[in-house]
């Protein structure tokens, strides 16, 4: 079964709607997996030739900033930086390799929180780099679980070609 454009749009819509509520689901107000970031990363690894993924990721990141963030552009720039990191990493791993998930988790958690810290620090925030790393650990756990679930679900939809060197 192929992941169609409609299914991608539905996946992004569900991730966008669930994002503000996922932290409260586990009893943590500001901590939880970044579903937009995780979905963008895993779709970019598995389906790298789709401009729809880039557009939906950056567009919904901007809408998320407008709706929920105190600073405009944090989620958009963070998602863009993490997606560029994912582009580099995906050339070094087979798509069926499970080691891809912890590496994507590290890129997503540390990259996004580093961008968020740099933007807030440039605006005069008092939060230190150590606080950002402590916060990244909780994000690492949440993003890792979300990425693992998304990887196993979306990897079933991947069309495997017998001549594709990345698959075998």
Domain ranges of the chain: 5-157
Q: What is the pLDDT of residue 22?
A: 80
Give the pLDDT score at 25: 74
Please list, in sequence order, all residues whose beta carbon lies within 8 angstroms of the beta carbon of residue 130, skipping any fewer than 6 positions away. none
Tokens linked to 40: 């963008």
Q: Which residues of the chain have pLDDT under 70?
A: 1, 23, 26-31, 49, 157-168
User: Tell me, what's the pLDDT at 30?
Assistant: 62
Query: 95 CB contacts (<8 Å, ≥6 apart)?
Result: 45, 46, 155, 158, 166, 167
Residue 59 confidence (pLDDT): 93
pLDDT of residue 32: 76
Distances from the Cα of 112 to the Cα of 25, 39, 96, 161, angstroms: 22, 14, 25, 33
Q: What is the pLDDT of residue 45?
A: 86
């Amino acid at each position: 079964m192929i992941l169609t454009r409609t299914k991608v749009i539905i996946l992004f819509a569900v991730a966008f709607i669930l994002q503000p509520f996922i932290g409260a689901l586990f009893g943590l107000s500001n901590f939880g997996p970044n579903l937009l970031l995780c979905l963008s990363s895993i779709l970019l690894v598995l389906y790298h030739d789709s401009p729809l993924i880039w557009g939906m990721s950056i567009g919904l990141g901007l809408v998320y900033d407008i709706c929920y963030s105190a600073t405009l552009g944090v989620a958009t720039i963070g998602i863009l930086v993490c997606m560029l990191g994912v582009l580099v990493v995906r050339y070094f791993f087979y798509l069926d390799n499970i080691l891809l998930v912890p590496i994507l988790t590290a890129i997503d958690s540390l990259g996004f929180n580093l961008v968020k810290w740099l933007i807030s620090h440039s605006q005069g925030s008092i939060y230190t780099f150590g606080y950002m790393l402590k916060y990244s650990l909780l994000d690492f756990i949440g993003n890792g679980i979300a990425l693992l679930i998304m990887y196993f679900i979306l990897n079933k939809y991947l069309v495997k070609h017998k001549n594709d060197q990345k698959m075998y």
